[in-house]
Amino acid sequence: MPKEGITPRAEDYNQWYLDIVRGADLADYAEVVRGCIVFKPTGYAIWEAMQRGLDDRIKATGHVNAYFPLLIPKSFLMKEAEHVEGFAPEVAEVTRAGGEDLAEPYVVRPTSETIIGYFYAKWVRSWRDLPLLINQWANVMRWEMRTRPFLRTAEFLWQEGHTVHADEADAEQETLKILHEVYADFVECEMALPVIKGLKSEKEKFAGALRSYALEAMMQDGRALQAATSHNLGQNFARAFDITYTDQNNTVQHAWTTSWGISTRLIGALIMAHSDDEGLVLPPRIAPIQVVVTPIYKSAEERAAVLEVVDHITAAWKGVVRFKVDNRDHLTPGFKFNEWELKGVPLRVEIGPKDIAKGSVAVARRDIPGKAGKSFLSQTGLLEALAALLDEVQQALFDRALRFREERTFDVTTYAELREAVEKGFARCYWAGSTEDEQRIQDETKATIRVIPLEQPNTVGRCVLTGKETEQQVIFARAY
């Protein structure tokens, strides 16, 4: 049975998503600022957990954090033609400040390649300065009025890495390292979300990039969500901003640059990939609270006895698991169970007088609702048992999401089969079409080439549209 206030997924998936955001208290609409949302504490705590996991991986690969201005001279955006064309419809401008019209408008950061390119041109002088590996945690503004919390808002939070290299090979290695060692590792290991790693088509690549790589994940309605991107920018921005260095032969060369980013839309991915009709479901490694302890009692005497045992049991938990003891007296145990299920806490521990007598606790798994997910564990060795159970939940969520994706990925050989497949999930097919062919399919099916998978079959097939022989397979899907 769906939880009260949550529309079943099968009935209205879009409304189900919004009901989860509201019911789990993740965000609120910022009515006074069109297109924006407020990250409520639970939603922001999830983002903080994502930041920690990503920041550790970014720094482990040799990058350091910095911060660049929010406002960018409009002339900077105009320097890279393809880039400005790609972002022009989304740009917000500041034309007046301090009571005066500005001599040159500023744009509110839609992305930072241009402002960072300006400073990199100042900082890079010699081959000894390379590679330059900097990451930024920031907010950006892209003028989007069709608000969908976490997935589509005018302002959102993200990280954006920007690096400078001596040659194309080093830039390409950087681009792929971030894709594999930072992004894919984080999304699959921490978020329990399987992804397809691949190259973007020319039509879908980042404006101004030489090559764009991405991670694509399947949501529970069969649609794709782009979880991360990593771009080899070639020398486009280096030429636009004159980022040059003197090589070991004392010759001035244009550098090669990259950029890569992941954003708060990952919170939307978490919701849509794992949650159910009972509410939010969070993988343990990303959950702000991994275990909630609910003491059960009826009298003041029982309360004192139960809480004493709870304090004893949880004394060694600090720093090992993230937990909360819910000892609110004005709420019934049933109300608490309902609330923590809705908020997606992976494990719930219940303990009352009978449990004390037996030396046990009841444990409920959020990923398996009802009696099937409930068990009784001894109080002795409970911490180790809970840690093992959290690992089991983490793996189970990944396995379930992978199984769902595999069941909804269809190998198609004809255009008719492709049209049918994208109604339900991913269409995997051979492709030798043009950008115009790709646009035609998008116009007719609302599906795009999400990625050209890095893992290819190395066999020859016929293009799903043109019939030409090719070794290249792609993934078509409708996307968020």
Check pLDDT > 90 for residue 4: no
Neighbouring-strand partners of residue 28: 38
Cα(269)–Cα(397) distance, integer angstroms: 13
**Coil, helix or strand at residue 409:** strand
Q: What is the pLDDT of residue 223?
A: 98
Q: Which residues contact 363 (CB under 8 A, 6 or more apart)?
A: 347, 348, 349, 350, 374, 375, 376, 377, 386, 389
Calculate ∠ Cα 327-333-335, nearest 5°. 105
Q: Please determine whether the domains at 13-274 and 409-477 fall in the same fold group of CATH.
A: no
Query: Does pTM surpass 0.85?
Result: yes
Check pLDDT > 60 for residue 286: yes
**Which sign does the torsion angle of CA 394, 181, 120, 103 carry?**
negative
How does residue 1 score in pLDDT terms, banded at 50, 70 and 90?
A: low
Largest CA distance in the chain: 84
Q: What is the pLDDT of residue 246?
A: 98
Distance of CA 135 to the CA centre of its chain: 17
Asked if 43 and 37 touch (Cβ cutoff 8 Å), the reply is: no
Looking at residue 114, the DSSP 8-state letter turns out to be: H
Distance of CA 221 to the CA centre of its chain: 17
Cα(141)–Cα(160) distance, integer angstroms: 14
Q: What is the pLDDT of residue 3?
A: 75
**334-392: pLDDT as tens digits:** 999 999 999 999 999 999 999 999 999 999 999 999 999 999 999 999 999 999 999 99
Asked if 296 and 306 touch (Cβ cutoff 8 Å), the reply is: yes
CB-based burial, 105-119: b 16+ in 10 Å, e otherwise: bbbbbbbbbbbbbbb
Cα(462)–Cα(471) distance, integer angstroms: 8
**In the chain, % of residues over pLDDT 70:** 98
Mean pLDDT, the chain, whole residue set? 96
**224-283: pLDDT as tens digits:** 999 999 999 999 999 999 999 999 999 999 999 999 999 999 999 999 999 999 999 999
> What homologous superfamily is domain 409-477 in, according to CATH?
C-terminal domain of ProRS (3.30.110.30)
Calculate ∠ Cα 287-153-39, nearest 5°. 40
Q: How far is CA 290 from CA 285, 307, 308, 379, in A?
A: 8, 20, 21, 18
**Coil, helix or strand at residue 162:** strand
Q: What is the mean pLDDT of residues 37-51?
A: 98
Cα(312)–Cα(409) distance, integer angstroms: 49
Sheet containing 211-218: which strands, arranged edge to edge? 64-66, 132-141, 155-165, 256-263, 224-234, 211-218, 196-199, 448-453, 473-477, 426-430, 409-411
How does residue 79 score in pLDDT terms, banded at 50, 70 and 90?
A: confident
Which pair of tokens denotes residue 212?
């764009």
Q: What is the pLDDT of residue 83?
A: 57
Q: What is the CATH number of domain 13-274?
A: 3.30.930.10
Asked if 425 and 410 touch (Cβ cutoff 8 Å), the reply is: yes
Q: What is the mean pLDDT of residues 91-115?
A: 94
**In the chain, % of residues over pLDDT 90:** 93
Domain ranges of the chain: 13-274, 291-389, 409-477
Cα(121)–Cα(123) distance, integer angstroms: 6
Q: What is the CATH number of domain 291-389?
A: 3.40.50.800
Which pair of tokens denotes residue 353?
């007088």
Q: Which of 411, 413, 396 is nearest to 347 (CA)?
A: 396
Check pLDDT > 70 for residue 319: yes
**453-469: pLDDT as tens digits:** 999 999 999 999 999 99
Check pLDDT > 80 for residue 54: yes
Q: How far is CA 478 from CA 50, 63, 203, in A?
A: 26, 34, 15
Which pair of tokens denotes residue 431?
């492709």
Asked if 165 and 235 touch (Cβ cutoff 8 Å), the reply is: no
How does residue 89 score in pLDDT terms, banded at 50, 70 and 90?
A: confident
